[in-house]
Amino acid sequence: MNKKPAEQSKLFATTDCTGEHAVAKRTVKVGGVTFGQGRPVLIAGPCAVESAEQIDIIAAALSDMQVDMLRGGVFKPRTSPYDFQGLGFEGLAYIHAAAKKYQLPFVTEVMEIAHLEKVAQYCDMIQIGSRNMYNYPLLKAVGKLQKPVLLKRAFSATIKEWTLAAEYIMATGNEQIVLCERGIRSFDSCTRNTLDITAVPIMQMNTGLPVIVDPSHATGRSYLIEPVSRAAVAIGADGLMIEVHQDPANALSDGEQSVKLADFSAMINRIGLEIGANNE
């Protein structure tokens, strides 16, 4: 019988950071892309799907670059109810069409259980965003699906809370989880968040799950994406998720942190990221 206290993990090595319990590394497959196999996976795309044309332009360029996966929000968790909320299911159809046309697996966020089944029918990976990491009914609902999940860290979550959020999904039956460090709230408002780079090896050791980094929401500033991506790769992150836009100055959300599409390929080359190498 498992005698661990209830707030500890039954499925992972530990919920703390003693580093004494390194577990075997797991891999997660999304379409032909494998996370946790050594080579960092590159996910890129707009913060939000804005139109059929916009996502087509972006997906075409990313496919030319052999980026591994496409991202794009259609249900957007915005701080203000007056900000662009995403195109909903109309946007889902646009990103699905672009992803299919350019043969890129795609990830998109779900915020409500009611939307889960329909989104899961079309996307290759479901994103649980920072604000919903604590949404336990939603975590249990994605746990019942056989669909890879990208679980972002809540901006206020401890290592223990994040580990146990992943445990909710796994304990419900879904083991295909990739974790994403996207910055936590700290005292300094100079950057949008503070990237907790230390969380990458800690969560890899605790859970064995692939851990990727989102430098876009971590920093909030496009000029910081390149150096922060380098740091993430250097510390052994299993991937990067980066926001790009064809015209960041006119983006409907997160333009200030989006890398200009025309500059993206050169940036990735400077980082030295090998992309498309071991995809099927």
Query: CA-CA distance, 279 to 256, in Å (whole number)?
Result: 31
**Which positions lie near Mn ion, rule CB under 5 A?**
47, 254
Q: Contact letters (x/-) for ligand PEP, 50-89, by CB under 6 A?
A: -----------------------x---x------------
Q: Contacts with ligand PEP in 158-197 (CB under 6 A)? A: 182
Among 40, 46, 129, 215, binds ligand PEP (CB under 6 A): 129
CB 31 within 8 A of CB 76: no
Give the shortest CB-213-to-ligand PEP separation in angstroms. 11
Contact 105/41 with Cβ under 8 angstroms?
A: no
Single-letter amino acid code for the residue at 270? R
Chosen from ligand PEP, Mn ion, none, partner binding at 182 (C-beta under 5 to 8 Å by type): ligand PEP
Q: Least Å distance between CB 98 and ligand PEP?
A: 17
47 makes contact with ligand PEP (CB under 6 A): yes
Length of the chain: 280
Q: Which of 202, 187, 254, 205 is nearest to 225 (CA)?
A: 254
Q: Would you say 47 or 67 has its CB closer to Mn ion?
A: 47
Say which amino acid occupies 274.
E
245 binds ligand PEP (CB under 6 A): no
Does residue 124 bind ligand PEP (CB under 6 A)? no
Does residue 217 bind ligand PEP (CB under 6 A)? Answer: yes
CB 69 within 8 A of CB 238: no
> Taking CB within 5 to 8 Å according to partner kind, which of Mn ion, ligand PEP, none is near residue 14?
none
Measured from the CB of residue 129, what is the shortest distance to ligand PEP in angstroms? 3
Look-up: residue for tokens 């075409």?
A: 60
Q: How far apart are the first and last CA of the chain?
A: 41
> Among residues 39 and 182, whose Cβ is nearest to ligand PEP?
182
CB of 217 to ligand PEP, least distance (A): 4
Angle formed by the axes of helices 52-64 and 261-271, nearest 10°: 30
What's at 101, amino acid-wise?
Answer: K
Helix (H, G, I), strand (E, B) or coil at 86: coil
Give the span between the Cα atoms of 169 and 141, in whole angstroms: 8
In the complex with ligand PEP, which residue's Cβ is closer, 32 or 77? 77
Which residues contact ligand PEP (rule: CB under 6 A)?
47, 73, 77, 109, 129-131, 152, 182, 217
